[in-house]
Structure 1
Amino acid sequence: MKKLILAAAIAVFGLSNAQTFGLKAGGNVSSVSNSDDSKAKFGFYAGAFVNVPLAESFNIQPEVLYSGKGVKSDDGSNINLNLDYISIPVMFQYKATPQFYLEAGPEFGFLISAKAKANGNSGDVKSLFNGFDFGLGLGAGYDFTSNFGANIRYVAGVTDIIKNNNGDASRNGVFQFGVTYKFGK
């Protein structure tokens, strides 16, 4: 898996016709479908991207992000599930105006850590979860200047995140909001 992540990072940063490199960071509000008595969990994401023009109004933006996801119990048991991923979204962007864009595309997630916490105790539960997560993202962004911008995105999980799940599929869902910084413009 480390080789796959390294290859993806090299592909993202090695594009020869890349116009803009940047960093992004922000907050995640995540949930897991079919989690009885649960509520959304707040986390964060951070990483890098390259924005490549495809046409006058269309860009592609591959990213490599750390993304903290999970869910919290809502039944008084104080159980928190923390799922840490290396996510590789590939967003296709349409620039509606020079500053405002809409985006959509797939996200490939690789589980790096899964921990459950309950009443002050924590344990590694990574063996219960699938190592790969696939989702579809939809979002929008606004560039305040040529270097600084803000974005929002929702990523709906498509694959079941739990191994040997005999019931309804459990999928990640995450709403992201954050800021971007672009170099060299």
Structure 2
Amino acid sequence: MKKVLLTLSIVAAAFTYASAQGLSGGLKAGLNLANFGGDDVEDAEIRPSFHVGGYLNLAFSDALSLQPELLFNSVGTKGSYEDEILGVPVEVEETVKLSYISIPINLVYSFGPVNIHAGPQFGFLLSAKSEYEINGSSDEEDVKEAYKGMDIGVGVGLGAHFGKLNATARYNLGLSSIADDDDADVKSNVIQISLGYRLFGGE
């Protein structure tokens, strides 16, 4: 938590400076291709989902800026395995659905309309559900207690803007295990493809 507060303090200081230099902001949304990784993850598959939220871009110069974002982020994974019910083998399809409020804070370097960016991301867990499908019947279970309340990761990506529109492709790598069991190594990794619209500031 101290690291988060320190990071937010740095962002606030940067915001104060950048307000005099150039401030823009807007909305963004897009596709998540989410999966789990780590030593204790086997046969996990990509779960397509989504993210939506807003961003601020705090310009220090024409080339360098800081971009904090506030996103609703749906991630997780899916997979299948064999089990037995009353001695009868069955195929179980499981989908894990995690919802976070995510705060990426990226340092952005622009050259013309194109940029590269990287930075930390902090996620705060809102809900965790596990959906099971067996022989066409489905059921859902609340599994929030199985996951930590906070996820820490790092993102790196490419972006481009076209007038008020912008597009981003980013990979978010989980750095900390999201499993509440300290002995389990489960990390959340996500490919994000976003479209955004600048509402104010900028060119």
Match of 1:35 in 2: 41
Specify which structure has the higher proportion of strand. 2
Match of 2:189 in 1: 173
Structure 2: gaps of 5 or more residues: 82-90
Q: State the AA in 1 paired with 2:44.
A: S
Match of 1:100 among 97, 114, 119: 114
Could you tell me how far 1:54 is from its partner in structure 2? 1.5
Could you tell me how far 1:122 is from its partner in structure 2? 0.3
* Aligned counterparts of 1:112 and 1:95: Cα–Cα separation in 2: 34
Q: Residue 145 of structure 2 aligns to a residue in which SS?
A: helix
Could you tell me how far 1:37 is from its partner in structure 2? 2.1
* Aligned counterparts of 1:74 and 1:124: Cα–Cα separation in 2: 19
Match of 1:123 in 2: 141
Match of 2:106 in 1: 91
What is the CA deviation profile of residues 66-102 of structure 1, one whole-angstrom value per residue up to 9, with x for unaligned ones?
0100000143421000010000000100002x21000
Match of 2:69 in 1: 63
Could you tell me how far 1:165 is from its partner in structure 2? 3.6
Match of 1:21 in 2: 25
* Aligned counterparts of 2:152 and 2:80: Cα–Cα separation in 1: 26
Relative to the length of structure 1, the TM-score reads 0.88
Match of 1:159 in 2: 176
Q: State the AA in 2 paired with 1:48.
A: G
Structure 1: gaps of 5 or more residues: none
Could you tell me how far 1:166 is from its partner in structure 2? 2.0
Could you tell me how far 1:55 is from its partner in structure 2? 2.3
* Aligned counterparts of 2:116 and 2:25: Cα–Cα separation in 1: 19
Relative to the length of structure 2, the TM-score reads 0.80
Could you tell me how far 1:178 is from its partner in structure 2? 1.3
* Aligned counterparts of 1:61 and 1:102: Cα–Cα separation in 2: 12
Q: State the AA in 1 paired with 2:171.
A: Y
Q: State the AA in 1 paired with 2:35.
A: S
Q: Residue 33 of structure 2 aligns to a residue in which SS?
A: strand
Greater mean deviation of Cα atoms: 118-127 or 71-80: 71-80
Q: State the AA in 2 paired with 1:170.
A: V
Q: Residue 92 of structure 2 aligns to a residue in which SS?
A: coil
Q: Does 1:112 align with 2:126?
A: yes
* Aligned counterparts of 2:32 and 2:102: Cα–Cα separation in 1: 13
